[in-house]
A and B are shown apart, each in its own frame.
Chain A
Amino acid sequence: MKMKKEKYCIEKKTRNGERVRLKVVVASLRKNRNDLKYKIRQQTDELKVKNGQLRNGAEKQIRSEKQLQIRTKKINEQREELLHVTRVGKLAEFVSSLAHEISQPLTAILSYAQAAQRMLADREPELRKILSYIIDDDQRAAEVIQRLRSLLKKSAPEMKLLDINALINETIVLIATDATVRNVILRIEFESNLPFVRGDRIQLQQVLLNLISNSFDALESSKDTREILICTKRLDTDTIIVKVKDSGCGILRQNIPKLFTHFFTSKTDGLGMGLSISRSIIESHGGRLDVENNPDRGATFYFTIPIDKKDA
C-alpha cells in the first residue's frame, strides 16, 4: 500500500518537469526511511532482548526466593526434629533415673510389708489386711513407673561415617538465628582434611547444641565480647578433639565435679540433664567430654571422638 502511494506521488511531481531531482529526492528519502526503519527494527530487537533478560532475571529471583523459603523451612523442620529428640531423650533419661531412685524404696517397702505379714503369721488379721493393701499399692506404683519407662524407650543410635567439620557447620546453621537474637558471634576454627569419625548424627548434634546453648546462657550477662569459638583439631593418630569456648561467666570451681551428674543445674529453669546426657552420648561413642575454665574468662567444653579405624 505504502509503495503505491509513493509511485503516485512521483508521477504527480513529474508533471511539473522536475523528474530527475524528484527521483533523487525520492531515492534519498526512501533510503533515509529505510535506514530509519532498520534502526527502529534494530532498537526494537535490542529492547526485546533486554526485556527478555529482565523478565528472566525476575523469574530467577522469584525462583531463588522460593528455594530460600524451602531451605529455611527444611532447616526449621530439622531444628524441630532435633529439639524433639533432645526433649524425648532428656525425658527418657530423666524417667529412667527417676525409676531407679524410686524402685529402691519401693523394693524396701514391699519387702518390709511382706516380712511383717509373715511375722504376724495367723495373728492380727486386720493388721495383715492393711499390710496387703500396702503391698498392692507398692506394686501399683511400680507398674506406673514401668509403663512410663516403656513409653520412653530410646531408639538405638545409627552409627555412620561422619565429617565432624561438616556436622558442626550443619549444627551452626540450626542455631544461627538464635545466635543473632542473642547477639552472639559464632566463630569456627577447623583443621582441614580431618579423617571421618563414626557416630550417630543426631546424637552428636544434640551434644553440640547442648554445649553451644550452654555457652549462650553463660554469655547472657556478658556486656562486651559475646563470642563462641568452635574449633576442631586432630589430637593424635586416632582421636579428634572438638572445643566449644566462650567468654562467659565460667564455672564455679566447686560445681565442676557435679557438672556432669544427673539433676545438677546452676540454671533457674534447668533440668540438669543436658550435660549428663551429653557425656553419656560421647562415652558411648568411645570419647570423653570434659570442661575447664579459661585462664582469662569463660569456660571451654571439649570432647574427643575416635577416628574411624578404616580412615585413620
Chain B
Amino acid sequence: MNSRRSIIYIVDDDASVCRALSLLLKSHRFQVQTFMRAAEFLVFKHLKLPSCLILDIRLPGINGLVLQEVMKRKGIFIPVIFITGHGDIPMSVKAMKAGAVDFLPKPFTENKLLNAIAFAILKSKAQNKEQAEILKIKHRIKTLSPRELEVFRLVAKGMLSKQIAQKRGTALQTIKVHRGRVMQKMQAKTITELIHFAQKSGIISPQH
C-alpha cells in the first residue's frame, strides 16, 4: 500500500486510544491526524489525498453516527471505519447501511484495522477519481452557452436532432451545429460518452 500518500483521520474522545492508534499507524508510515471531538474534525481542512476516517461511535456532542450523516450532507467523501467498545447489532447495521466500510469492536488487532484501512483507501481513491471527474465535467458544462446546454439536455434525454429541431422550431442544421459544439466542448467522442457525462454531472436527474 502506498501509505505515505494517504492520510488517516482518527476521532476518539479517549486521548490514549488516539495516541496509540496514531503511533501504530505512523509505524506503518501513514499520515495521521487525530481529533477528540467530531466538531474538530468537521472544521479541519481535509487534505486532497486518499483518506479514511477511524471513528468512535460514542462521542460527547456529535456522536459517530451523526457525524457520518453530517459528512454525507456536507459532501465530505471520506470512507468511515467505525470502532466501538459498546457496539450492538442494530447499531452496526445502521452504520453499514449508511455506507461505513467496516465496524470494528474494540479492542481490535492490527491486522483487522489494516485490512479495513486498505479497503477504505481503495474506496477513497475511487471516490476521489469520481469526484475529480465530476468536477471536470461540471467545468466543461460551464463553458456551454444556454442554447448549447439545452441541446445537451435534450440529447442526453435520448432525443434525435430532428425531434429537437421540431420541438424548438429551429432548422435541423442549426441543431446539428449546436450538437457538434456540445460534443466538442464536453470532449465527448461518442453520444454514449456524452450521455454518461450528463448522468454523472446530474443534469438529467429528475431534479434538473
Contact = CB atoms under 8 A, between A and B. Distances in A.
Contact of A108 (B16, B26, B27, B86): B16
A192 interface: no
B27 A107 contact: no
Given A107-B106, A118-B24, A99 B86 contact: yes
Contacts of A100: 58, 85-86
Interface string B42-57: 0000000000000000
B108 interface: yes
Given A104-B16, A118-B24, A119-B27, A111 B110 contact: yes
A112 interface: yes
Interface string B11-55: 000101101110110111000000000000000000000000000
A103 B109 CA distance: 13
A103 B110 contact: no
Contacts of A101: 85
A277 to B, nearest CB: 16
A104 B14 contact: yes
Given A99-B85, A100-B58, A105-B16, A114 B110 contact: yes
A138 B20 CA distance: 14
Nearest to A112: B20
B6 to A, nearest CB: 18
B86 A107 contact: no
Chain A interface extent, by class: 20 to 34
Contacts of A103: 85-86, 105-107
A102 B16 CA distance: 13
Nearest to B113: A111
B85 A111 contact: no
B107 A106 contact: yes
Contacts of B17: 104, 107-108, 111
A293 interface: no
B20 A107 contact: yes
A109 B28 CA distance: 17
A101 B105 CA distance: 13
Interface in A61-106: 96, 99-106
B155 interface: no
A102 B17 CA distance: 12
A115 B16 contact: no
A106 B106 CA distance: 8
A118 B14 CA distance: 23
A104 B27 contact: no
A138 B110 contact: no
Nearest to B85: A103
Given A108-B19, A111-B21, 9 more contacts: A99-B86, A100-B86, A106-B106, A107-B14, A110-B108, A110-B109, A112-B20, A142-B106, A146-B105
Interface of B: 14, 16-17, 19-21, 23-24, 26-28, 58, 83, 85-86, 105-110
Q: Which 7 A-B pairs have the closest CB atoms?
A: A103-B85, A111-B20, A115-B24, A103-B106, A107-B107, A115-B23, A108-B20
Interface of A: 96, 99-112, 114-115, 118-119, 135, 138-139, 142, 146
